[in-house]
A and B are shown apart, each in its own frame.
Chain A
């Protein structure tokens, strides 16, 4: 029904009045000639309202004469007639084209340049530099090379870690500023960044608060930036930026376990893709199977919605569902295998824990005994020697008031 209406509109159709003694004869003659008629309504004894494709009108005249009927066109409908009428209104058509052209032309300009992420450098400076490289409001979009602008900004702006340029109608320049190390003249302590046992202590500036072999906790002051005059000396308390190398023994612990038997999920490599269209509550599957043909699977669903416009949500949704099949595998391990796996897992965890530059002194394994019998578990302890000193600033006045207990 819908399809016929559509074609009727595209091809053009006529609404006709058929007047005469026997409209039935007219209908039958049209039928035998293969002329399609629709929406026939008998208005009164003599008149019949008929819709017919515009192209078969000529034949219909002939038939009407044979059936002793007269036909009169009541309405001409459809695209061809509409276009015909438009031919007389060329300015209107031209206006439509001009409108589209203007919108397209306006779309190809850069209107504004936004700067995101600039804190110390003023956005104005960045805009000025971008304008030097060709990105400024009013230029044509395709004449701006985003990469070139980004390179230019990187070269010209000091203290910028990265620049990203997005050339659009509202161009966006994203800037990441480098964090510059704070000046080293402010008074500060060296504190412990980790728990450990001090292995060696080299004080360059400041007064040491710990000695070798001491157990320290995270946050303890190792080298103080407060230098008090030695007894008998007549001078003021000095505040310095403490500096030094503090190496300590640090222990890390990781745990790994493996079951003697377990059910594992494994990809089989088979996939099913379903593309569906959701209209209100109905779901129409455009492509793919109606149901996922696997027993175990994981889904990846992507939904495409028409964005909300003025509180009107469109009830149309386009969904792509991808199902990946999984297989459940029963894995059995011997105790030895399980132990090896547990160790492997523990070392993998350890690799994440260990910081870079830590010298491993010792590592030892300890199986966890007792507990579940279907389980092999192991604890890995690693001992390292590493630098644990961390600088932290302090305010001299506050320190003095609180009697510098640290």
Chain B
């Protein structure tokens, strides 16, 4: 708590509180903490939920902006199967999925 009292917390402590809350209430963390949820299906498909837009897209490389940084997917013949405000589906031969902070 800071000197003003009440619910105005610093950014760091608010994050910690949210984490503890979600941990105890067993809420899905991707919603409470605004984290991306990344699903990889074999080496053929990647689903990114809760993204914040596309930074770069070529058939060999896809960079997606998320709340915790940048998600980089490398592979061959990447195609964006669907793009919705909260979900991106990527098809193709996936070689690597990297989180860049």
Contacts and interface: CB of A to CB of B under 8 A. Distances in A.
Interface residues of B, number: 15
Nearest to A23: B57
Contact of B57 (A30, A32, A42): A42
Interface stretch (B17-25, B26-34, B68-76, B82-90): B82-90
A36 B83 contact: yes
Contacts of A23: 57
Contact of B80 (A4, A34, A40, A45): A40
Interface stretch (B3-11, B35-43, B48-56, B93-101): B48-56
B58 A42 contact: yes
Nearest to B84: A36
A28 B88 CA distance: 12
User: For chain B, what secondary structure do more than half of its interface residues adopt (helix, strand, loop), or is it mixed?
Assistant: strand
B81 interface: yes
Interface string B45-67: 00000000111111100000000
Contacts of A42: 57-59, 78-79
Contact of B56 (A24, A30, A36): A24
A294 interface: no
A166 B56 CA distance: 73
A27 B55 contact: no
Q: Is the interface on chain A under 10, 10 to 19, 20 to 34, or 35 or more residues?
A: 10 to 19
B80 A24 contact: no
B59 A24 contact: no
Contact of B81 (A24, A30, A31, A38): A38
A31 B59 contact: no
Contacts of B53: 27-28, 31-32
B29 to A, nearest CB: 24
B85 A38 contact: no
A4 B89 CA distance: 14
Interface of B: 53-59, 78-85
25 contacts: A23-B57, A24-B54, A24-B55, A24-B56, A27-B53, A28-B54, A31-B84, A31-B85, A32-B53, A32-B85, A36-B82, A36-B84, A37-B80, A37-B83, A38-B80, A38-B81, A38-B82, A38-B83, A39-B79, A39-B81, A40-B79, A41-B59, A41-B79, A42-B59, A42-B78
Given A4-B82, A24-B56, A41-B79, 9 more contacts: A27-B80, A28-B53, A28-B54, A31-B85, A39-B81, A41-B59, A42-B57, A42-B78, A42-B79
Q: Which 3 A-B pairs have CB atoms at the shortest separation, nearest pair first?
A: A40-B80, A28-B53, A38-B82
